[in-house]
Amino acid sequence: MENKNDFLNIKEEVEELGIEHILAILPILRKMPPVEVAEILNELDAEAIAFVLKNFDIEQQGLIFSEFNISRQLELFNLFNKREFADIFEHMPPDDYVDLYQHLEPEEQVELLPYLSLDIRENVIRLSKYPEETAGGIMTTDFFTVHSGKTCEELINLIRSRSPSNRALYHIYVINEDNVLLGIINLEDLIKAKGDTLVDDVMEKDYEFVFVDEDREKVAEIIAKYDLITLPVLNHDYQLIGVVTSDDAIEVIHSEQTEDFEKFMGIVQEPEYFDYLGTPTTVHFKKRIVWLIALAIIELFAGMVINHYQPLIQQLYVLALFMPMLTAMGGNAGSQSATVIVRALALGQITVKEWFKIIWKELRIAVLLALILGILTFANAMILNSFRVIPEGFSISYISFVIALSMSLQIICSTFLGALFPLIVKSLKGDPALAASPAIATLVDITGLIIYFSVASLLLGL
């Protein structure tokens, strides 16, 4: 649209006025990008969206439909008869229609396939065999190839005759008779080349690629690292079978971030099309209760520690006043350390082999944090204890020193554990996010109490 404010205004009006307003502004919507149309239509219920979609031409229907999230797509799928929906399906980008197909129930797939054209049906079946977490699972077959030995003029004529999609022309892939990838041609280089120049002389022979079974997260990392628009996907015979585009990589990164965030917060993962409002309360409950029960059981050990040191608390009850602060600060320090390490691992900035450098760096940071927080804790304890009656034989300053020392040791220990756990999990081929908060916070609660009462018992002679 000419002005982003126009889009926002239309969206607000649709929220207020509904489908009647949509139908009145159809001429405007037909000129808007599919992603913006989908965002506007998403304010309506599924039945209304299905009705409005029929007012667009079939090419626009496919592109708009592909912009909805999977949960909305599945909802709309059930509102169309399968013959009618097949036309929409065939006009979606290949990677999008394969993704939708993989999320359909087996009986729904069987109902849809007979209405698809032969080439689309074969493409869907071929691409659907690849696991969703691999390059094959996110690649598209919407790419343009040319055989080695052709001239640039012949290639341009091929492009004109085939009329490929805009997305397919990001790069042109040069292959031999066996479909083995030989090189890649940028459209800019093709335009600048003379007509009688062979494509073999224009193509870039040094290029990045991935195998079809490569993990999709690694694929996204390569695209981000080398700032690629498309990345060719090869089988182990080096034959070109698909490409992954930058927008697919963005979706993968977004999905992986969501997955890591849920693991980080102790939430059981759901499929990518998990929808917050559209999911029953019981499902939300099941997602969260597992970790909470596990952590509650672990927290019982904290109760056991407190029970063990109950005589100490009874003799010097002021110690109990600082328990929440020590456990909370320990949890915060551990979570900070774990978050930094998990992120650095995810971005490839560090590896498990560098564990000693990582731990040493975190320990130096921990000492500086412990020094500052120890001083603050001492001052806090001095102020709070000055208003309390201290048992004979103890001084306010010495008790405050013990509390401050415990805090400093807790910060160092928590930071160490926060850095160590993700590295251990990573070395065991697990997901480092699993070792982060709230698991770290729970663990340092226990270690913090042990440190606190052990130091107090030793230095106070109780």
Q: Tell me the pLDDT band of 77, cut-offs 50, 70 and 90.
A: very high
Q: What percent of the chain has pLDDT over 90?
A: 39
Q: What is the CATH number of domain 144-246?
A: 3.10.580.10
pLDDT at 361: 95
pLDDT at 288: 74
Which H or E run includes 11? helix 4-17
Give the residue with greater pLDDT, 196 vs 425. 196
Write the CB contacts of 63 (distance below 8 Å, at least 6 apart in sequence): 34, 91, 92, 93
Q: Tell me the pLDDT band of 289, cut-offs 50, 70 and 90.
A: confident
Out of 89-98, 226-235, 299-308, 372-381, least confident range: 299-308
Can you tell me the distance from the alpha carbon of 382 to that of 316, in angstroms, rounded to the nearest whole number? 15
CATH architecture group of domain 281-460: Orthogonal Bundle (1.10)
CATH 3.10.580.10 range(s) for the chain read: 144-246
Q: Tell me the pLDDT band of 23, cut-offs 50, 70 and 90.
A: confident
Amino acid making up residue 150: K
pLDDT at 260: 62
Q: What is the CA radius of gyration of the chain?
A: 30
Q: Taking the complete model, does pTM exceed 0.95, yes or no?
A: no
Cβ(71)–Cβ(278) below 8 Å: yes
Q: Tell me the pLDDT band of 11, cut-offs 50, 70 and 90.
A: low
Q: Which of 460, 305, 306, 326 is nearest to 390 (CA)?
A: 460
Can you tell me the distance from the alpha carbon of 355 to that of 362, in angstroms, rounded to the nearest whole number? 10
Out of 264-268, 294-298, 431-435, least confident range: 264-268
Q: Tell me the pLDDT band of 265, cut-offs 50, 70 and 90.
A: low
pLDDT at 1: 46
Written out in words, the top-level CATH class of the domain with range 4-129 is mainly alpha
For 113-149, what is each residue's pLDDT tens digit?
889 998 898 889 888 888 888 999 889 888 999 999 9
Count of CB atoms situated within 10 Å of the CB of 68: 20
Can you tell me the distance from the alpha carbon of 440 to that of 116, in angstroms, rounded to the nearest whole number? 51
Query: In the predicted model, is pLDDT for residue 355 greater than 90?
Result: yes
For 170-180, what is each residue's pLDDT tens digit?
899 999 999 99
Measured torsion, CA atoms of residues 219, 221, 225, 228, in degrees rounded to the nearest 10: 40
How large is the average pLDDT for residues 422-435? 79
Q: Which of 109, 174, 99, 121 is nearest to 143 (CA)?
A: 174
Q: Tell me the pLDDT band of 206, cut-offs 50, 70 and 90.
A: very high
pLDDT at 90: 94
Mean of pLDDT over the chain: 85
CATH 1.10.357.20 range(s) for the chain read: 281-460
CATH 1.25.60.10 range(s) for the chain read: 4-129
For 336-347, what is each residue's pLDDT tens digit?
898 888 888 877
For 27-76, what is each residue's pLDDT tens digit?
888 899 999 999 888 888 889 899 989 999 999 999 999 999 888 999 99
Give the residue with greater pLDDT, 417 vs 21. 417
Query: In the predicted model, is pLDDT for residue 425 greater than 90?
Result: no
Query: In the predicted model, is pLDDT for residue 256 greater than 50?
Result: yes
For 445, the token pair is 């609660």
pLDDT at 262: 58
How large is the average pLDDT for residues 234-253? 89
